[in-house]
Amino acid sequence: MRQIYLLLTTIIIGTCSAFAQTLDTVIHLKETKVKGYKTITGMGHLNEVHDCVIYSGQKNEVLILDSLNANTAQDNPRQVLGRVPGSNYSETEGSGFPSNGIGFRGLNPTQSIETNTRQNGYNIAGDIYGYPESYYLTPLEATERVEIVRGASSLQFGPQFGGVVNYIVKSGPEDKAFEFTTEQTGGSYGYANSFNSVGGTWKKWNYYAFAEYSGAQGWRQNSQYQQVAGFGKIEYRANERFKVGIEYSLLRNLLHMPGGLDDEQFNQNADQSFRARNWLVTPWNILALTSTYKISDKTSLTLKSALNISSRSIVWRNEDGGPETPDSISNTNNSYVPREVEHEYFKSSTTEVRLLTNYSIFNRESTLAAGFRFFNGWMKRQEGGLGSTDIGPDFTNYNAGNAYDNDLDFTTVNIAPFVENTFHVGDRLSITPGFRFEYLKSTATGHVLDSTGTYDINVNESKPRYIPLAGIAFQYKTTGTTNIYANLTQAYTPISYSFLYPMGLDVDAKIDPNLKDITGYNGDLGWRGNLKSYFTFDLSIFYMAHNNNIAIETLNPTSNTTYYETNVGDAQHIGIESYAELNVVKLFSKHSKIGNISFFNSFAYDRATYVSGIYKGNTCEYAPKTIERFGLTYGIKRFSTTFLFSNTSKSFSDANNTVYSPDAEVGVIPAYTVMDWSATVKVKNYNIKFGVNNLADARYFTFRTVEYPGPGIIPSTGRSLYLGFGARF
């Protein structure tokens, strides 16, 4: 089946390339001028300049959610972001992580740690460098579009290898003073979701707010959860040149964590659980200030500043003994053993200022984008608190004096100026060189308990960095609606908090005093565009050098085993990414009585291997070789439906490429195929949505873990149905 899809895609692209060469005029769409992105159906591309950011020559996608048949109530990433070639997910929501994670090009998708996650252009992760996990993601019911940039994004957004995912929240309607929308959804395993929003425009004020409740008993035992998300923004538009707004986002949840399974348990019954006392609570708060000032017709200045004050707490029967060890009542005292309590507190501020100006040089228009980022973050991590012997969500530390085995404070300061300039050479070619300079300082202070549990190890670590980054991008207009793009940009990943101090199982680990950040670069070469209103495509090859990978070496395993945290070697990712979407009916007729039929194929091939060091020749962790998704959509009048086929090849959870381990903490992640079906009926201001996730009830998983929220295999959800009703007034 996969070969048939690829053959069809190749034939269609080849045929349409011949049509494309007949186009010799530039077509200006209304959406292009107003919104700054080009799209035919659900997915398109950002223009050369959008929202004071240069995208010329960069690999990017924009997804318009109102154009998609997707299960947005349950934030199903396959049905929305799955169109993006090479997008990979850790499906752990409800098992201990508040949200699913996303990764690209063979990078670890867990909690989106390799991806810069943003909302309305500002940071929403805990710490952009030391702890880049995303606990809060914008609910898809409230999302207008998702902007994704890979490769060359590192100069204007930060040096991460995995690119940027930016969730744009809806705004209040321009032509109404008040509008109310509601979406009520129910589904399998006690699932219930209630989304309600208000918005509008009054004089010079635009406002939008939503509140969403979701909860379920869960597909697995001990996996029920409750969650509330909220958002509010108000924007004052003084005139055509100046606007300023304030936004607030919140998340409140309580998750029952079912723990992990070993391979035998997973194969016997994937929805079972052997942990009934594991809980997580995550209050998340983000306050943001945004402002845009149009200095002149050619020059604009933007400010985005976000304050994150959040925390995460867990109480659990931890990983001791692995998933096969039951959490049972002791015969000696007729009670459970005490659980462990952990707390993490975050406080950070991120401010980004961007200036964009258009000017003429040699009678050609050029665009300059410049700015800087200032980040200041603090995080406290407390582990090893004495929890209760109860079953419920009690996060109290019962140690004397509220003491913790590990009590650490981290800080990060980042100052990063950047500049990019697009030069136009003739009518078709543009060249965009750029430069970014990163100053970064991370510290860790406090104490951790040694592996014997007898004495404290004081921690006082500090590491400054001064990192220059450069890149260049090219874009050539092959026709009015197609272009060739290419870019080459440096990137890096700084040493995270976990490598600034010895902790947990690594208490006795020796840290390489010459430990280096992960460095490298991304490169893209591709051809993209659209043909009238019925065909869109993007074909590209990429290369990513991921050097100085950090891991733990085991020394003297047969005698006195010790661990050494060091750079283990270089890796490279070489691959192909392709996307093609065809509206079959519009290809032959602008007006059809039988409705519209369209299909898309999203395919990625990634050869991600270590090319030096002790793991040379091995496949990189969490890097499936192929990811393919095929979607078919039919719509007529008020009804539309989409079928989605997703196939992900096998991958490994460790650099050793372990196939099987008795504790299931490492091992192969088998290939899996998932099918989803969704449908929508719209009647005036009302809609009904229904569908089935994992139509064939496949048993699969995307994540193994050595500890939280496991240890072991974290299964993905089986077949589930949903039905929703919505209205707009």
Q: Would you state the pLDDT for residue 186?
A: 96
Q: Would you state the pLDDT for residue 265?
A: 94
Range(s) of the domain holding residue 241: 2-728
Give the C-alpha separation, 687 to 701, whole Å. 33
Q: Would you state the pLDDT for residue 297?
A: 93
**DSSP secondary structure of 364-379:** EEEEEEEEEEEEEEEE
For residue 488, what are the contacts with CB-CB under 8 A and spacing of at least 6? Answer: 152, 471, 472, 473, 521, 522, 523
Confirm if 149 and 58 have CB atoms less than 8 A apart: yes
* Burial category of 594 from C-beta neighbours within 10 Å (exposed 0-12, middle 13-18, buried 19 and up): exposed
Whole-model pTM over 0.75: yes
Q: What is the CATH number of the domain that holds 174?
A: 2.40.170.20
Q: Would you state the pLDDT for residue 538?
A: 96
Q: How many domains does the chain have?
A: 1
Which amino acid appears at position 66 of this protein?
A: D
Which residues in the chain land under pLDDT 70? 1-41, 319-321, 451-452, 498-511, 551-564
SS (H, E, C) 638-678: CEEEEEEEEEECCEECCCCCCCCCCCCCCCEECCEEEEEEE
Name the strand (E) or helix (H) holding 11: helix 2-20
Q: Would you state the pLDDT for residue 5?
A: 39
Q: What is the β-pairing status of strands 116-119 and 164-169?
A: parallel
Give the C-alpha separation, 677 to 692, whole Å. 5
Q: Would you state the pLDDT for residue 22?
A: 37
Q: Would you state the pLDDT for residue 149?
A: 93
